Amino acid sequence: MLDSLARLGRVGLAILASLGRAHLLLVGILRGLPSMLVRPRLLLAQIYGVGVLSLLIIVVSGLFVGMVLGLQGYYVLSQFGAAESLGVMVAASLVRELGPVVTALLFAGRAGSALTAEIGLMKATEQLSGLEMMAVDPVKRVLTPRFFAGLISMPLLAALFSAIGVIGGWFVGVGLLGIDDGAFWGQMQNKIDFDEDLVNGVIKSLVFGLVVTWIALYEGYDATPTSAGVSRATTRTVVQSALAILGLDFILTALMFGG
């Protein structure tokens, strides 16, 4: 009984210590902002790695999610004689929910895991220690540009996901199922609100970008510097990011649209 309590206490303390280290790391990353702004090329290189190289998976996934939404939406709406509202349904689903959430999940799987593996391997191969010994702060030099690259890339990728998804929905609804083109776009323009839908969607994707990139960088930086340690850290990044995204999505949705 006492042993179980002691084990529980140890686990609790380890979690608290880990949270503390993660927050200290975030402060260190944010402190690196001024030196990163002096050398924007570091940021641009990371936006390419984190954002541009994620384009393919985001575009293809967005297209298919939009097409599935078109098919499913048409099936439900046509039963109520409201098939003309397919454009609103597809756009609202994408902009409010699926765009930020699915993009963040894909971003965690593609860019987040890559960031953790890269930082973890830099630690395992003593590259981070090497920077320290060259009097270069690895947090400012390596982590800060990657953090802000994630923060900038995520809303742009989510916007692209939603835009491509709408096109996918239009292709299925208008192109294949014969919904009126004007009704599809017109109802969408009337019903989708800039502040209520678009801005809230962007806020969600910004929050998800921050959390996913933070988790990915922390897990890499805190990884045990062995191949097994880096592997475990990469897995933790994907699992923790997915849970954080879905949990935060509920909280943000309740705050934004809960009335």
Partner 1 sequence: MATAQSKQASVTLPREERSGMTDEQMLAKVRGLRFYHGDRCIFDGIDLDIQRGRITAIMGPSGTGKTTLLKLISGQLHADAGTVEVDGQSIQELSRDALYQLRIRMGMLFQSGALLTDLNVFENVAFPIREHAKLPESVLRKLVLIKLEAVGLRGAAALMPSQLSGGMARRVALARAIALDPMMIMYDEPFTGQDPISMGVLVSLIRQLNDASEMTSIIVSHDVTETTSIADYLYIIANGKIMAEGTPQEVAANESDWVRQFMQGEPDGPVHYHYPAQTLEQDLLQSVCH
Stretch that binds partner 1, among 14-22, 76-84, 86-94, 127-135 (CB under 8 A): 127-135
Distance CA 193, CA 62 (A): 21
Min dist. Cβ of residue 132 to partner 1 (A): 6
Question: Cβ contacts of residue 206 below 8 Å, gap of 6+?
Answer: 151, 154, 155
Stretch that binds partner 1, among 77-85, 121-129, 165-173, 248-256 (CB under 8 A): 121-129
Retrieve residue 38's tokens: 């002096």
**Which has the closest alpha carbon to 118: 84, 145, 86?**
145
Retrieve residue 39's tokens: 């050398």
Distance CA 16, CA 32 (A): 25
User: Residue 127, interface with partner 1 (CB under 8 A)?
Assistant: yes
User: Residue 125, interface with partner 1 (CB under 8 A)?
Assistant: yes
Which of residues 2 and 135 has its CB atom nearest to partner 1 in the complex? Answer: 135
**Which has the closest alpha carbon to 217: 101, 123, 130?**
123
Residue 4: CB atoms within 10 A of its CB come to 8
Buried (b) or exposed (e) across 82-114, using 16+ Cβ within 10 A? ebbbbbbbbbbbbbbbbbbbbbbbbbbbbbbbb
User: Which residues within the stretch 219-238 sit at the binding site for partner 1 (CB under 8 A)?
Assistant: none
Retrieve residue 1's tokens: 């009984």
Stretch that binds partner 1, among 52-60, 104-112, 119-127, 157-165 (CB under 8 A): 119-127
Which of residues 35 and 253 has its CB atom nearest to partner 1 in the complex? Answer: 35
Q: Which of 5, 135, 195, 258 binds partner 1 (CB under 8 A)?
A: 135
User: Residue 134, interface with partner 1 (CB under 8 A)?
Assistant: yes
Q: Which of 16, 33, 136, 246 binds partner 1 (CB under 8 A)?
A: 136
User: Residue 78, interface with partner 1 (CB under 8 A)?
Assistant: no
User: Residue 17, interface with partner 1 (CB under 8 A)?
Assistant: no
User: Residue 133, interface with partner 1 (CB under 8 A)?
Assistant: yes
**Residue position matching structure tokens 């409010």:** 96
Residues lying near partner 1 in the complex (CB under 8 A) are found at 125-127, 129-130, 132-137
